[in-house]
Structure formats: structure tokens, C-alpha cells
A and B are shown apart, each in its own frame.
Chain A
């Protein structure tokens, strides 16, 4: 089973992949509308928004958490963590 390189989500079903393309290493939530992978700023904003919207975290706390969580993921390991 694949794990999304950009957010860590397990990907099993075709619907978990962008456009159902199971050769991709990133999930449907980390893809742009054209199927390419989101950039670091896009993903950081998306993950922050997800934490705020679904769990009600404070925006600043969500942002800091997203920065730390993303720094451990293969797609962003080399990114600076002070974004």
C-alpha cells in the first residue's frame, strides 16, 4: 500500500489517487486540478486549513503543526521549516 509523499495519507482505492492514476505517489488531496502535485506553500495552506476546518485548531497553532508534520514527509524533507 502506498502512502502519500506529501501528506502521509494511506492510498488504497483508485479514488485516493489524482484522476484515479495509481502510479502517482501523492494523493487526491495533494493534487491540483490538473493532476500535478501542489507546491509546498499550497500544501502548507491546505493542511493548515484542514486542521482549522475539521478540528477547530487555532490558525497559528495549525500552521506551526502543519510545518512540523510536513517536515517529516518525503516530498518536503528538504524544505526549510520556517515557511
Chain B
């Protein structure tokens, strides 16, 4: 016999699980990007008030008592994990069917846990203790149990051989919701059955098999077998999760990183040894530190009153198995994020994964080992801060210098099976517009020589940016800057003897982070600088040679602030 636990309105229930006071309220769960959030799930009370899935947030204003919550995937994950846990505590054979749905094999449990009704009742009670209201069904095969759990509320027991009779009252929609992976395909089946006047599983089950096979094919037959509760299959048993974790409870609290590192090293070696035995590596490391609490009398207690915790997770770009590297990574991470309290308990766990296997090519350049690279990146992150290390990716916008930082991961080397010496090659082309590297362009080899010659001939002036831009005070005359002084760098100041501009740009006006700026290229006399032949103002066509420094001066039009953004070589 098999049991199925099904949590109706799973998204809503996972939220109510954490806010039990909402149990008596109509609750709607929203999803989507603001301002276009929509209802994705409702509880029964909300449905009774007339709210519908798909309604927008502002449409829901009419329902005064309706409680709105945003969908929480993490809560759903933990609720589902709890559900699996509960099922596994009853049976070793558990199938993780879908979020909020679990199947378990009850064969042989009767001697251990009592008769089936008792098992079902206990199971339902245990789920209820998790804060979830479940439908539970027991049947001779997993799919019948699943159908019954989706179709009937509460606890349902279907005696063997009476599946068709009990399931017959269920609408065909339940069947298709349960077993049709494709929504469109499901809708097509519903339409066909509706045309045929088949609304209940009983009617579908009663159709003659051969004609059904002629008309609906094997898929139709399968649905019919399911409708009769006659389909049998094995559970896709959830393999018990291998846990690679080590814990240490301390006699005395640790305050410094060094002793902590000592302990961590031992724990990491243990974990790595276990993983090595199973030919596995680490995908992610989790460190959980529990803090010691202090008694009111001021004495630190190491008894058993442990409340606060500190958690760090280290995701690794590729599976690794080097305890020393892990230790270094953890040390760097803890340096960047110190726990901030004496540590009373250490719990270290590793998510296992298959180790990376790579065959390097004989003629391929050697990339840094991922372990070392990750270590280096972690070190740099520790210095410059998170979100500031990685591959820079230019964004397609007129916004000056707009970019995103992606996690740096070197591309797998491209294997070239054939190298044609006369073939085309790709070349980066520099286009000064917006100072960005543009797309790769294929060119003929014979043109390359000319290009190279041309590159040598043409001088490209570079702009050295100040990061961040330097705030400046600017004096204007007839809307043109005539004098500027940099507040942070005294050496950047003076009369502006030449200007070009303004160069205007603005954008993202439809977003809250809209921007508008004006740039000026200016020349300011310098005491010691390279000599540049500088074109005079537009009205004056003569040329003269002065010791000047060229800057890019920028005004943010929205705030009115001036900045010196960079200097030209």
C-alpha cells in the first residue's frame, strides 16, 4: 500500500505555517515584479470572498480583510523539506513527487506501526504538527493514492480493488492536473473529454479500451488506467541525503580566529576524508557557529543555553576537495565577516558533488587551477568588498560607464580540431564611442596588415577615469565653465582656457533611476605637464602651444553637482 501527502494551496500554507494567526484569515499570495504583482495562490477563505488568481495588487484593494503576502520560495522549500522529513520518519521509501506532494510506501509497516488507518491518522497528525493542513490518501498503488489525495480532502483510505469505484467521482481535471506535465496539453485533454461529455473519472474508466486506444493513443490508455486506479509503478525513491558534517561543542568559548582555524582545520580534514572515500568533492561549505550567552551576573555560561547563531556559506565554482584551500577560504571569509561574539559550538557541513574531471589539451594554455583562482578571488573580495570582484560586463545603454560585475569564471578552453593558417581570425575592434569594446569582427587576413599599419599611424587619446569622480566647484559664464576647483584634489583647479562641449546624454526616464548629464572637455593650465598642441576655442582658429591638462568635467543635471570624471593623456 502507498500513501500520498498532498498540501492544497501549498504556497499559502507555507506562509500560514510561519504566521499561524493568519489561519482564520483570507490570504492571497502574490508573485511578479512590482508594480505588476499578481495573485498566484489563495486559501479557501480568500476564494470564498470572490478573489481570483491573476488579480493585481491594486484590484485587491476592494477586499479590506484580505491578507496579502509575497511568495516565499525559501519558506516553500523548508516546508517541503519538513514534509519529506516527516514522510521519511514513517517509511524508508519516499518519493519527492512535487512541491507539497510526497508519496510513501507503507508496505510492511503495519507490523511496526499498526494498522493502515492508524498509520494514516498518525501521518496526518504529524503533518498537522508541522503547521500544514494535508490531504492524505492510502491506496494500493502510488498514482491512485496521489489522485485520491488531490481529489479528496482529509484522510482517505481506499481498500485494494476498489480504486475505480472510489476515484470515479473525481473530475477529470484532477487527473490531468496530476499527470499532465504540459499545461497546454492538459487543456487539450480537458477539451476533448468535455466534448465527449466525460467529466468524471468513472466515465473515462468505463470507455472500451480498444476504441480508446484507436482514438487517443497510448497516452489516452494511460490516462484511462490511471482513472481506474489500475496503473502500477514503482516509487522514485528519494535517496537518503549523504550528510558530511562535523560538529564541535566547546568547553570554553573561542574569541580569536586562530584557535577557531585550528578546530576548523581538523573538522575540514575529517569531512574531506569522508568525501574522498566516496569519491566525492565539495560543492558548497556551510559553517554554523553558535554563540555563548552571558548570564546576568556577567559570567559566561557554557552550560546549555545557546541561542544566537552565525552562518556562512561558501559556494565553490567547481567541486573541490582540498582541506587547506577550504580552510584558507573560511579564514578569509571570517576575516571579512567576523562573528562578533564568543563561539560555543561549531557546525561544519559540506554539500557533496561529483569531482571535476578535465582533460587538458597539449597545446592549450594552462588556466589557473580553480581552487587557486577561487582562493585568489576570495582574497581580493576580502580586500575590496563583495560585488566588486569578477568579470566586468558592459551594459547596452548610453549611460556612461554602466557595467555589471559577474562572477569570474574562465571559459572552458575551446578545442580547435583544425587550424587553418589562412583562416579568418577574430580581432577586437576599438571604437572610441562610449569608450567601449565592441563586438568582435571578422576580417580578411590580408587586410590585417593594413589595419595594423593603420593602428600604428592613428593616435588614440585615452581617458583616465577617476574612480569615483572627484567633486568640483565650477564657475560658469554664459553657461560655459570658466573656472573650476576640485574639492578633493587641490592640484586640479584653475582657469579653464579651452572647452569643448557640452556633450549631453540622458536616459532611463521610465525608471526611478533616470539620469541626465552634461560633459565638457576642458583644458586647465598646469605647472608641470606634458606639452600638447591644443586647438583653440571654436571661434578662434589659431593654434597655440601651452602647458595644459585636459579634463572631462561632468555635471549631473538632476542634482546639479559637478565632477571631474577623468583626465586625457
Partners in one complex: no
